[in-house]
Structure 1
Amino acid sequence: MAPQPAPPTPDAVLAALRGIRDPEQDKDIVSLGMVRDLAIEASEVSFTLGFTSQSPQAKAAMHSMASRLVGQLPGVTKVQVRMGAAQAPASRPAHAHAPAPGPAARPPALIPEVRRTIAVSSGKGGVGKSTVAVNLAIALRQGGASVGIIDSDVYGPDVPMMLGSRGRPGMFDNKIIPVEAHGIKMMSIGLLVNEREPLVWRGPMIHSFIQQMLTDVMWGALDYLVFDMPPGTGDAQLSLSQVIPLSGVVMVTTPQEVALLDVRKAIGMFQKLNVPMLGIVENMSYFVAPDTGRRYEIFGEGGGRRIAEEYGVPLLAQIPLDPETRVGGDEGSPITVRRPDSPQAKAFRELAEAVRRRLDELAALGPLPTIS
């Protein structure tokens, strides 16, 4: 039997935790003194994270990342992360008061000129998430709204190709000018690097990139800013949720059971981060044969509706599978532009209207409850 690894040293634990940055102060949590009461007993590690005015999403994200990073250290079998309040420095003036937490359970608005922010996400790749994000953005624009889109999927930045715009963005007054295509503003890492160059980025680099896309880009006044999120539930999603003041998430799946298995995990992640769920989009829902008009459920039937009912959220749309949608994405002319009168384009316009109504409903309910 192989010998068990020795327990980690306190320095090793703190070194791992330095990989987590507080998005509000842009420093690692160890340097900020947020880690305290560190104890190592055999293979079990415990400590407290002391928070000040961080949003509930930031707290949940840092708690999860701390548990994961320490749990990956050799010799660790159990991690206990307690959540507490920050200890006030001794030198703090008696009259100073910590800023009170905001009433809404979401990060601070880094882009105050943007009215609503929509994340389009999925539990796994290959379900057409980017296709949905692009066509949703265009459909919102066709409805009269001002719209932007950020390609947050840094590992597969396909939005420039889908929108047919691969030129480099300009600069003005030390700000990036977003590229415009089909009436919407767009930014992507794909505009800044060679399209054949692989991006091997850790969470902090993704965090920094997204923050730059929010604060260093001249978005101007927008009704909607759509984020094409990376698929899955990794560090990228946690980092993104720390810095994006999300109005809600649209979850994309296909009807098949494999996709449903993964979308449950993704929904669970956003629930833990207290991000509103706008609803489910069932993509590639069915195929209609052009010669016979017969309908085929190639990837199964009813999966999107079952997930929506399971989590008590709307089924926002069922998007049919069609070669024209694929061709439009490949050629930079999305189906909502290429064939605006097609059933596929109609489905995306209905999706845009359902998203708009859902956002209005959530806004009428007021801010989300605070979690700790």
Structure 2
Amino acid sequence: MMSATPSDLESAVRAALSKVIDPELRRPITEIGMVKNVTAGPDGSVHVEIYLTTAACPKKTEISDQVSRAVSDVPGTGSVKVSLDVMNDEQRAELRRQLRGDSREPVIPFAQPGSLTRVYAVASGKGGVGKSSITVNLAAAMAARGLSVGVVDADIYGHSVPRMMGTEDRPVQVDSMIVPPVAHDVRVISIAMFTQGNTPVVWRGPMLHRALQQFLADVYWGDLDVLLLDLPPGTGDIAISVAQLIPGAEILVVTTPQMAAAEVAERAGAIALQTRQRIAGVVENMVDGPVLKMFGEGGGRKVSENLSRAVGADVPLLGQVPLDPDLVSAGDSGVPLVLSAPDSLAGAELRKIADALAGRKRGLAGMSLGLDPAGR
């Protein structure tokens, strides 16, 4: 049996590289111009040169390892060498155009008439109800189902999503486009990724609006099925900005069984009456056992019923998440409970809520169906 020629081996290696997916852009490296060159020798040795988007690419080792494994699996391959180079400005600009189009001004893809992404703004009336925990667990559960999911940590002052998602990676800038880190198959962006250490953010309203606008427009999100926004508590600047920037975003209200918390949560949900947004439902968190009831009872049901009356449409109670210390420790460890303990009572309830939200079809509102009127 004749051995493959260097030319045949090079072709086989390129075919194998088409299955290597960039961990941040989530596209084949052959498709986005990252393969600089492939050289095969008569002895089966292969040298692959790869372009990185930036010299400081946090995933360079992961990319190199993936390339080496893919090439080594090609029959007839001997020794494998992987060299890394960096794209120049023109190459980065071309990559940005390929991914985002040639628009001079970045646009918010989720606000466009043709968008099929379902956007959930996770809101609460007050802090301490576990809104961020609910957000990251829903995101991780949906991603585990195979959906393309993104999370915006819109709580600029009280950001906590990166820690809960277990990522310390920084975004990568490609031309004028920001590539967000990926954690547990979820694209994540947070102001924490742009500050040093635990430095507080001291901004007024207009700067908050601009930061949210950049998170939505300048970040490369790809084709998302679901985008979750972890909002700050209350009905302030960010909640108003979300309604202005993404009018189609639906509000997901998080509360606890406590009636005082439920009354405040109603106000967070009732903002939909002024912004004309839809309320996707209510999640009751920290539901205690049948005896102690440390946080009271009935808050979620009350919020659901009162909001249903207020908006004149059904606002379902999507789930009641049991009080579970592991939910807290999972957030601190950076592995959401739906991944670390999916069959626990709280994990199972969170997955049920995620299934209910993820199972809803992506909308066709504003979509051009390519139909012509009869008789034309």
Shorter-normalised TM range: 0.5 to 0.7
| Of 305-314 and 128-137, the range deviating more from structure 2 | 305-314
> What is the match of residue 260 of structure 2?
258
Query: Structure 1 residue 208: deviation in Å?
Result: 0.6
> What is the match of residue 282 of structure 2?
280
Match of 1:234 among 205, 229, 236: 236
> What is the match of residue 68 of structure 1?
none
C-alpha contact 1:113 1:221 (8 A) present in aligned 2: no
Q: Secondary structure in 2 aligned to 1:278?
A: strand
What code does the residue aligned with 2:230 have? D
Residues 74-153 of structure 1 mapped to structure 2, 5 A cutoff: 109=111, 115-153=117-155
Match of 1:159 among 158, 161, 171: 161
Match of 1:299 among 295, 298, 301: 295
CA, structure 1 residues 159+108, in 2 after alignment: closer, same or farther (shift >3 Å)? closer
Query: Structure 1 residue 274: deviation in Å?
Result: 0.6
> What is the match of residue 45 of structure 1?
none
C-alpha contact 2:111 2:248 (8 A) present in aligned 1: no
**Following the alignment from structure 2 to structure 1, what is the Cα–Cα distance between the partners of residues 249 and 259?**
28
What code does the residue aligned with 1:220 have? G
C-alpha contact 2:164 2:330 (8 A) present in aligned 1: yes
C-alpha contact 1:177 1:218 (8 A) present in aligned 2: yes
C-alpha contact 1:111 1:214 (8 A) present in aligned 2: no
**Following the alignment from structure 1 to structure 2, what is the Cα–Cα distance between the partners of residues 163 and 113?**
26
What code does the residue aligned with 2:225 have? D
**Following the alignment from structure 2 to structure 1, what is the Cα–Cα distance between the partners of residues 265 and 352?**
22
Deviation string 1:3-58 (CA, Å, 9 cap, x unpaired) is: xxxxxxxxxxxxxxxxxxxxxxxxxxxxxxxxxxxxxxxxxxxxxxxxxxxxxxxx
What code does the residue aligned with 2:144 have? Q
Query: Structure 1 residue 114: deviation in Å?
Result: 5.6
> What is the match of residue 25 of structure 1?
none
Query: Structure 1 residue 113: deviation in Å?
Result: 5.8
Match of 1:205 among 193, 204, 207: 207
Q: Secondary structure in 1 aligned to 2:225?
A: strand
What code does the residue aligned with 1:158 have? S
**Following the alignment from structure 2 to structure 1, what is the Cα–Cα distance between the partners of residues 168 and 196?**
10
**Following the alignment from structure 1 to structure 2, what is the Cα–Cα distance between the partners of residues 126 and 246?**
27
CA, structure 1 residues 242+168, in 2 after alignment: closer, same or farther (shift >3 Å)? same
What code does the residue aligned with 1:236 have? I
Give unmatched runs, 5+ long, in structure 2: 1-108, 309-314, 367-376
Q: CA RMSD in A?
A: 2.3
> What is the match of residue 194 of structure 2?
192
Runs of 4 or more above 3 Å deviation: 110-114
**Following the alignment from structure 1 to structure 2, what is the Cα–Cα distance between the partners of residues 280 and 187?**
25
Residues 11-50 of structure 1 mapped to structure 2, 5 A cutoff: none
**Following the alignment from structure 1 to structure 2, what is the Cα–Cα distance between the partners of residues 298 and 221?**
42
What code does the residue aligned with 1:141 have? A
> What is the match of residue 338 of structure 2?
336
Q: Secondary structure in 2 aligned to 1:284?
A: strand
What code does the residue aligned with 1:356 have? A
Rg larger in structure: 2
Q: Does 1:223 align with 2:251?
A: no
Deviation string 1:72-130 (CA, Å, 9 cap, x unpaired) is: xxxxxxxxxxxxxxxxxxxxxxxxxxxxxxxxxxx971596662111111001000000
Deviation string 1:151-177 (CA, Å, 9 cap, x unpaired) is: 000011100000110221112232111
**Following the alignment from structure 2 to structure 1, what is the Cα–Cα distance between the partners of residues 113 and 181?**
18
TM-score (norm 2): 0.63
| Of 120-129 and 137-146, the range deviating more from structure 2 | 137-146
CA, structure 1 residues 149+108, in 2 after alignment: closer, same or farther (shift >3 Å)? closer
> What is the match of residue 270 of structure 1?
272
C-alpha contact 1:110 1:245 (8 A) present in aligned 2: no
CA, structure 1 residues 284+192, in 2 after alignment: closer, same or farther (shift >3 Å)? same
Query: Structure 1 residue 337: deviation in Å?
Result: 1.4
CA, structure 1 residues 139+178, in 2 after alignment: closer, same or farther (shift >3 Å)? same
What code does the residue aligned with 1:303 have? G
Equivalent pairs, count: 253
Give unmatched runs, 5+ long, in structure 1: 1-106, 288-293, 368-372
C-alpha contact 1:114 1:220 (8 A) present in aligned 2: no
**Following the alignment from structure 2 to structure 1, what is the Cα–Cα distance between the partners of residues 155 and 197?**
13
Deviation string 1:268-297 (CA, Å, 9 cap, x unpaired) is: 21221011001110000124xxxxxx7542
Deviation string 1:304-323 (CA, Å, 9 cap, x unpaired) is: 01211122210001001111
Query: Structure 1 residue 182: deviation in Å?
Result: 0.7
Match of 2:320 among 313, 318, 321: 318
